[in-house]
């Protein structure tokens, strides 16, 4: 196989271009700022990245079934508040954690029930939940000063370490491994992919599409709850407005990881990679002394740039591959439009065998 062809094949795999950009970014920041790769600096944005990674991991499930969960931002903030409230009321730490995660879980159950059982549009429902969550957070914080929990174990969640590994990283790794297993290796995960690929076909094949849809929102909610606990531990103080905007960052992370908004494809580790990408970018900008006011703008632009590049490079690579694979002088009539399949008999070559169609769908 010639080298150019091998290169083309590598780039045709989605996400590869983003990964290359990621490496380039790290190299650039390391050269630009000598402190970039030193331990202390990495810890700065670490917790933030772990929180986004958690949300993106939960979001992956929702995206795989072809849905979307816009509520995770404010649910994260609300969960942080309920965690603080529970701990300040003197409840033991495990109960406090359960209250936090449970808050997210309840929000997920409501989302899932309304979307899957009543059939209301997912965008609307989770947008409403976003609003409700933000409102509740405001109500809770207006009454009580949620700050100053005296608990070393609670603080350890984000500041501690095991054998030199920061605790939040450890937590993230465990959660991500479990979630990746659930998505890839269990009947539930398989059903989620099936429901995302073709809900009607999956339903007729006996996949409990509604139940799966319900399940992914619960899971996403629980992840938001967990993220809220970490956020509370990090800040040890909760104000209204906490967590707002996280939902978009989480979706951006998933998209950067190559997860299709059209459903049916994606994996947890890829979404986490996207989160790490965004975290590194933020870290790098900070190191370079860029005004934080510009962060979100740069982040937004870089997402578009990365995904567009991934798509363009991928498409060029793909067409090269297909061009090389196509037998010369085939019977296919080039003037025949693709929609020409009145008899439903497709020319296998008209359906792109690699990631092509998903690429089309991903950024739609």
Partner 1 sequence: MPDRDTQEPGPQELLRVEGVVKHYPGVVALSGVSLDVRAGEIHALLGENGAGKSTLINVLSGTTQPTSGQVLVAGEPVQLRRPRDAQDLGITTIHQELSLAPELTVLQNIFLGRELRRGPFGRGLLDEHAMSARVQGVIADFGLTERDLRRPVGEFGALTQHVVEIIKALAFDARLVILDEPTSGLAEEERVMLFDHMRRLRERGISLVWVTHRLDELYGLVDRITVLRDGRTVATTDTTESTPADLVRLMVGRKTTSLGVIAEGRTPAERPADPRAEVLRLENVSRRPVLRGVSLTIAGGEILGVAGVAGAGRTELARAILGADRIDGGRILVDGEPVRIRHPRDAYRLGIAMVPEERKTLGILADFPLDKNTTVSRLGKVARLGLMLDRRRERAVTRDYIDELGVRTTGAGERIRNLSGGNQQKIVIARCLFTGPRLIIFDEPTQGIDVAAKAEVYRLIHRFVAGGGAALVISSEIPELLHVSDRILVMREGAIAGEVRPDLRGDDLEADERVSAEIMSLAARSVA
Is position 265 an interface residue for partner 1 (rule: CB under 8 A)?
A: yes
* Distance, CA of 244 to CA of 72 (rounded, Å): 9
Is position 201 an interface residue for partner 1 (rule: CB under 8 A)?
A: yes
Nearer to partner 1, 211 or 286 (CB): 211
Nearer to partner 1, 78 or 207 (CB): 207
Sign, CA dihedral 38-53-298-238, equals negative
Is position 360 an interface residue for partner 1 (rule: CB under 8 A)?
A: no
Nearer to partner 1, 25 or 322 (CB): 322
Give the distance from CA 128 to its chain's centroid. Answer: 20
Is position 323 an interface residue for partner 1 (rule: CB under 8 A)?
A: no
**Residue 331 CB, nearest approach to partner 1 (Å):** 8
Question: Which of 223, 303, 233 lies closest to 56, judged by CA?
Answer: 223
Is position 364 an interface residue for partner 1 (rule: CB under 8 A)?
A: no
**Residue 50 CB, nearest approach to partner 1 (Å):** 27
Is position 216 an interface residue for partner 1 (rule: CB under 8 A)?
A: no
Q: What are phi and psi of 161, to 5 degrees?
A: -155, 155
Between residue 169 and residue 188, which ones bind partner 1 under the rule CB under 8 A? Answer: 185-187
Nearer to partner 1, 90 or 348 (CB): 348
What token pair was written down for 364?
A: 């739609």
**Residue 19 CB, nearest approach to partner 1 (Å):** 22
**Which pairs from 173-182 meet CB under 8 Å and 24+ separation?**
175/54, 175/57, 175/223, 175/226, 176/53, 176/57, 176/268, 176/269, 176/272, 179/57, 179/58, 179/60, 179/61, 179/219, 179/223, 179/268, 180/267, 180/268, 180/269, 182/219
Q: Which of 142, 150, 328, 335 binds partner 1 (CB under 8 A)?
A: 335
**Where along the sequence are the contacts to partner 1 (CB under 8 A)?**
185-187, 190-191, 193-194, 197-198, 200-208, 264-265, 331, 333, 335-336, 339-348, 351, 353, 358
């Amino acid at each position: 196989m010639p080298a150019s062809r091998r290169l083309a094949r590598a780039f045709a795999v989605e996400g590869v271009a983003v990964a290359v950009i990621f490496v380039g970014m790290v190299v650039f920041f390391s050269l630009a700022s000598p402190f970039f790769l030193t331990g202390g600096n990495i810890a700065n944005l670490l917790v933030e990245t772990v929180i986004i990674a958690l949300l993106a991991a939960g979001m992956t499930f929702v995206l795989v079934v072809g849905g979307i969960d816009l509520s995770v931002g404010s649910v994260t903030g609300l969960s942080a508040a309920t965690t603080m409230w529970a701990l300040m009321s003197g409840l033991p730490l495990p109960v406090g954690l359960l209250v936090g995660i449970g808050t997210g879980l309840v929000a997920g159950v409501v989302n899932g029930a309304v979307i899957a059982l009543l059939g209301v549009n997912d965008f609307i429902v989770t947008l409403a939940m976003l609003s409700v969550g933000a409102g509740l957070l405001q109500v809770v914080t207006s009454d009580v000063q949620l700050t100053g929990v005296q608990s070393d174990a609670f603080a350890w969640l984000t500041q501690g370490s095991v054998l030199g590994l920061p605790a939040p990283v450890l937590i993230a790794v465990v959660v991500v491994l479990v979630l990746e297993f659930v998505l890839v290796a269990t009947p539930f995960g398989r059903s989620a992919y099936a429901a995302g690929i073709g809900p009607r076909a999956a339903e007729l094949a006996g996949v409990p599409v509604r139940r799966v849809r319900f399940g992914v929102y619960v899971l996403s909610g629980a992840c938001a709850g967990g993220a809220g606990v970490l956020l509370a531990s990090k800040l040890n103080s909760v104000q209204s407005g906490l967590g707002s905007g996280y939902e978009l960052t989480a979706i951006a992370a998933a998209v950067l990881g190559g997860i299709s908004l059209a459903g049916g494809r994606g994996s947890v580790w890829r979404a986490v990679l996207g989160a790490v990408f965004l975290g590194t970018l933020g870290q790098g900008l900070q190191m370079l002394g860029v005004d934080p006011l510009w962060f979100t703008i740069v982040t937004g632009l870089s997402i578009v740039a990365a995904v567009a590049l991934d798509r363009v490079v991928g498409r060029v690579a793909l067409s090269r591959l297909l061009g090389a694979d196509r037998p010369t002088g085939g019977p296919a009539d080039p003037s025949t439009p693709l929609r020409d399949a009145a008899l439903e008999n497709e020319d296998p070559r008209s359906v792109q065998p690699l990631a092509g169609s998903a690429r089309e769908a991903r950024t739609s």
